[in-house]
Structure 1
Amino acid sequence: MAMAASPVPKLRAWMARAGVTRVAHVGRALLLASTCALALNACMSVSTQKVGMTPVASADPVHTIQLSRVVIAALPNDSSVTLPAASQWRRVGALPQGDVYRSMGGLFTIQTRRQGEAYLVASSGKLLGFYLPGESAYMALSRPVTLPVEMRQ
C-alpha cells in the first residue's frame, strides 16, 4: 500500500512563489495569537478590591435565604452570572458593603481573571456584588440587582 505524498513541499513552493517566507508567516501567526490572548484576558479582567470578611460568630443564629426566581446579574467585564431559582444561601459573614452569603447547594463559581468560588454580597434586599474567598476580594456588580427572597430564617 503506497503512502500519500505530503502536501508540505507543495505548500512551501506556493509560499515561495507568493513571496511569503516562513519567518514572516510564523511572525504574523504569533502576533495574531498574542493579540487574541491579550483581548481575551482584558475581557475576563475585572476590578476587585481586597477586603477582610468578618465571619459569622458561632453563637449567632443561622440565617439563610432562598431565591424565588432566577436572578441574572451583569458583571463588570460585560459577562453575566445566573443565580438559580430556589437556590439557598447561608450567611457566613459581613463586609463593609453588606452581608456575605455562601451557596448551600454546592460550589458557586464565576469567571473573572480565573474561575473561582464566589459568595453573594447583599444589603437591603439587593445583590451588590460578590466576595471571592480565594482572593479575599470584593467585586461590585455593574449595577445592583433586587434579590427575590422567598424564604428567610
Structure 2
Amino acid sequence: MAPLPVAHSLTGRATRARCQSLLAACLCALALGGCASGKPQRVSLVPVDMTESASRLQLSREVVAKLPNDAAVTLPSGSQWRRAGAIVQGDVFRPLGGPFSIALPRHTEAYLVASSGKLVGFYLPVDSSYIELPRPVVLPGAVRQ
C-alpha cells in the first residue's frame, strides 16, 4: 500500500509543475503583449553631450514603416537626421531641415529610434514617450560623426 501514495504524490507534483509552467508561459505572453501593444510608453531621453559632435544619419533610399495602428510612415530618401540622445530602446535621431510627424490619433512630432542599423520605433518629444514598430525596418544609410 505504500507505493500507491508515493505514485499519487508524484502525479500531484507533476501536475503542480505543469500548472506552474503554464502560468509562467501565460505571464510571459501577457508581458510581451503589453510591450508591443502600440501604446506610447513613457521613456527618459539621455541627451547628447553638447561638447561632443553629434552623429548624423543620411538615408540612401526611402524607408517605409508601419505603425501599430497600421498607418504607413515614409522617411524620404536623402533625409538627414542628427543624434539627439538615447533611450533604452536605441539611439534617438532628430530630423534636420524641419519637423517630422507621424499619424497617431493626431499628427505628432516624432524622432526616429534606431538600434543595430534598424528603425525600431519613434520617440515623441512632446510627452517623452516611445512608440514601438510592430516590425523593425533596415535603415539604409551611413552614420557620420
Same fold (TM over 0.5): yes
- SS of 1:92's equivalent in the other structure is strand
In the alignment of these two chains, the number of paired residues is 109
What is the 5 A alignment of 1:109-148? Answer: 109-148=101-140
CA distance in 1, matches of 2:65, 2:144: 21
Q: Which runs of 5+ in 2 are unaligned?
A: 1-37
What does residue 3 of structure 2 align with? none
CA deviations 1:26-63 (Å, max 9, x no partner) are xxxxxxxxxxxxxxxxxxxx411001111101112221
Q: What is the Cα deviation at residue 151 of structure 1? A: 5.2
- 1:82 pairs with 2:74: yes
Q: What is the Cα deviation at residue 150 of structure 1? A: 3.9
CA contact under 8 A between 1:67 and 1:151: conserved in structure 2? no
TM-score by length of 2: 0.72
Report sequence identity in percent. 56
CA contact under 8 A between 2:55 and 2:143: conserved in structure 1? no
Q: Which residue type is aligned with residue 104 of structure 1?
A: L
- SS of 2:61's equivalent in the other structure is coil
Q: How big is the alpha-carbon RMSD for the aligned residues of Structure 1 and Structure 2?
A: 1.4
CA contact under 8 A between 2:55 and 2:83: conserved in structure 1? yes
Q: Which runs of 5+ in 1 are unaligned?
A: 1-45
TM-score by length of 1: 0.68
